[in-house]
Amino acid sequence: MAAGGTGIIQAAKNATKTIPIVMTGGGTDPVEAGLIESLARPGGNVTGTTTLARELAGKRLELLKEAVTRLVRVAVLYDPANKNDIVEVKELLPADARALKLTPQHWEVRTSEDFDRVFAAMGKQRPDGLYVTGSPPMGANRKRIADFALKSRLPSVSNRTYVDAGGLMSYGPDLAESYRRVAYYVDRIIRGAKPADLPVEQPTKFEFVINLKTATQIGLTIPPEVLARANRLIK
């Protein structure tokens, strides 16, 4: 099993062309990344699930806008060395932001050492909200980012692990469900099925999570209609 981003899955694929590989947790289109031939017929020794995380950028912005009606300027934390982040931030987010009448402010973070500088500069710009990508530097520093957002009273949105670390809200595939599907693939393969013939599944269940404790700490009252749409409220 290869859980995580494209790099992890590709490393497993590079290591063997014969041992079956079940992937999960990857946010990149696996066809575009060259991991499989197609979703319906993977073709090689890789199959499993894909989260399509970056395609949810617009929905995350939309939910943040609905929760924070005064939202106009959104700071976007991303890693310019990460291909997924480049596509998400440079190709997908701009159109979504325009549709929502939002102004994105891009902030590059390559390593952990960049955060203090970026946070200091961001504080001077005084954005209305914060959008955090799911790239490795953000994941490794999610508590640090959430603490900054809390201290700055900045409403923020990202993935589920970020909310668990203290961020305000997240929207994305139900990762627990994705991991449960791994057992299905392993079972089929053990029983003789070939990865090449097992279609790769896209997510069908999504989670909208709001951290009410964080909302209270930053002085944000989330509209009742937004709260009613949440799958889970952290109190």
In this structure, what token pair is assigned to residue 43? Answer: 């073709």
In this structure, what token pair is assigned to residue 93? Answer: 């987010």
Angle between helix 115-125 and helix 142-151 axes, rounded to 10 deg:
30
Q: How far apart are CA 62 and CA 170, in angstroms?
A: 11
| The model scores a pTM over 0.85 | yes
pLDDT digits (tens, 9 = 90+) for 48-99: 998 766 678 899 999 999 999 999 999 999 999 988 888 889 988 999 999 9
Which residue's entry shows tokens 């995380």? 53
Question: What domains are defined for the chain?
Answer: 2-51+174-204 (3.40.50.2300), 54-172+207-234 (3.40.50.2300)
pLDDT digits (tens, 9 = 90+) for 19-29: 999 999 766 78
Residue 104 near residue 131, CB atoms below 8 Å:
yes
